[in-house]
């Protein structure tokens, strides 16, 4: 029969804390996520103000920001619902890219900037350039 022992050494606790128990690392990741979301929402808020959209505050609300993006990009905003339907969401994603290209064109910027938005930190810089540049 095996005798279970409780290991109370410091390396044991540190090894256990590094798992999925959360801790400081998840707090830092959550703060970074929140800051990037707020920055992106503020940039899109400014973009929608420049475009003269009726409700630019939609940029702050998670699903409504997609609705106003389609509307500002001269696409049907009902594609937002299509994003939640399997297989249809691929078509809706293509229309989202088209909407973003139309938004960038309306602001007089190069539409190829949308490709740079795929790169994580560069995407934030591109959003800033489109909103304030």
> How far is residue 92's CA from residue 94's CA, in Å, rounded to a whole number?
5
103 pLDDT more than 60: yes
| Contact of 45 with 128, CB cutoff 8 Å | no
Residue 37, classed as helix, strand or coil, is: helix
Residue 117, classed as helix, strand or coil, is: coil
pLDDT tens digit string along 12-30? 555 555 555 567 788 899 9
Domain ranges of the chain: 22-132
Q: How many beta carbons lie within 10 A of that of residue 42, not counting itself?
A: 15
pTM of this prediction? Answer: 0.77
> How far is residue 70's CA from residue 9's CA, in Å, rounded to a whole number?
56
pLDDT tens digit string along 59-74? 999 999 999 999 999 9
Q: How many beta carbons lie within 10 A of that of residue 25, not counting itself?
A: 11
| Contact of 44 with 59, CB cutoff 8 Å | yes
């Amino acid at each position: 029969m095996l005798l279970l022992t409780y290991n109370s050494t410091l390396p044991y606790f540190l090894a256990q804390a590094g798992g999925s128990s959360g801790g400081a690392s998840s707090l830092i990741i959550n703060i970074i996520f929140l800051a990037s979301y707020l920055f992106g929402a503020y940039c899109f808020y400014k973009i929608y103000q420049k475009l003269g959209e009726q409700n630019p505050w939609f940029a702050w609300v998670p699903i409504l920001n997609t609705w106003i993006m389609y509307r500002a990009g001269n696409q049907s905003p009902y594609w937002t619902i299509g994003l939640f339907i399997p297989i249809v969401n691929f078509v809706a994603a293509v229309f989202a890219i088209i909407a973003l290209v139309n938004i960038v064109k309306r602001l007089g910027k190069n539409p190829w900037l949308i490709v740079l938005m795929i790169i994580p930190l560069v995407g934030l810089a591109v959003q800033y350039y489109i909103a304030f540049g």
